[in-house]
Amino acid sequence: MIPSVAGALFAQAASAARNETRGATHGGTLEFAVLGSSSSGNGAVLRVITPDASRQILIDGGLSPRATRGALAALGLALEDTNEILFTHFDHDHAQAGWARVAMMSGLQLRCSHRHLNAALARGYPLGAIETFDPRSTGFDLGPVRVIPCENAHDDGGTVAFRFESVAGTLGFATDLGRAHEGLINLLRGVHLLAIESNYDRAMQLASNRPTFLKDRIMGGRGHLSNDECIEVVRALMWPDSPEQVVLLHLSRECNCPHLVRQLWISDLPTLAPKLTIALARQSVGPWRITAENRRF
């Protein structure tokens, strides 16, 4: 953390948030919302409050600090209460350059895989604000949240998917996935809330005017997950317990259609279709709130 007056204020706000127990039930509360999700910007917020701790984590910084502040405010949350941004990877739509200044001014922690350190620095993020983790480790703790990472193929640098565990409940977050693999399915199995990419419809992708190299990049196993591939992953992780809510991330505007996705879920995964939410490009969805008392398993 970089020391500064603003940094001290930020830390103070964060520590006030940590001490805050408002809204916490006996076992705590896990809240999650997607602030925006598309190739023009991705960001989500996870907040866990337990009787003696609280943590507010942004997942990806692909929305500008200003847009993020506004989206958080609409949810009744403050950017200043954020403890860190946890990055899946550093493509522009997941890591806006503007967070460098916020990190320098406020002491906001930027957390990423050690494999992504150079990409973070290339984005202009200050070394002193970055804390890295081993994406092949068994996990690490962020206050009351246990974070379990899982690497995925995506372009050259790869991405990290996360399982967040707390006494209140669990969240699985996986985007820009290349191709689903067993490790990912095991990571996401049994989560209460699942946020997962459903990027494109294969027929729409093939029929699009996009150049062949781009289609190959997206569909070749180091790009994005199609609607069918997403459904395959969710079907594989549904046993023994299926998620209570599923949020679909990162739908392509050009090569996907929310109506079509919903129809696909109604026919392929009818029990989960009513629990489905499709994230929007520049609008929040959620929040979902899980407690030990209100969850099914």
Nearest distance in Å: CB 48, Zn ion: 25
**Token pair recorded at residue 58:** 């942004």
Strand bridging mode 130-133 / 109-113: parallel
Cα(159)–Cα(177) distance, integer angstroms: 7
Least gap, CB of 125 to Zn ion (angstroms): 17
CB of 92 to Zn ion, least distance (A): 9
The nearest distance, CB 120 to Zn ion, in angstroms, is: 16
In the complex, what is the shortest distance from the CB of residue 60 to Zn ion, in angstroms, rounded to a whole number?
A: 9
Closest CB to Zn ion among 107 and 172?
A: 172
**Closer to Zn ion by Cβ: residue 165 or 176:** 176
Confirm if 67 and 58 have CB atoms less than 8 A apart.
no
Of residues 84 and 93, the one with the C-beta less far from Zn ion: 93
Q: For Zn ion, which is the closer residue by CB, 84 or 176?
A: 176
Q: How far is the CB of 94 from Zn ion (least distance, A)?
A: 5
Footprint on this chain of Zn ion (rule: CB under 5 A) = 93, 176
Which of 108, 114, 55, 113 lies closest to 85, judged by CA? 108
For the CB of residue 62, give the shortest distance to Zn ion in the complex, in Å: 7
- For Zn ion, which is the closer residue by CB, 153 or 167? 153
The residue (of 53 and 184) whose beta carbon lies closer to Zn ion is: 184
Q: What's the CA gap between 176 and 150, in Å, rounded?
A: 12
Q: Distance between CA atoms of 165 and 96, rounded to whole angstroms?
A: 27
Nearer to Zn ion, 176 or 244 (CB): 176
Angstrom distance (rounded) from CA 207 to CA 204: 5
What is the smallest separation between the CB atom of 197 and Zn ion, expressed in angstroms? Answer: 8
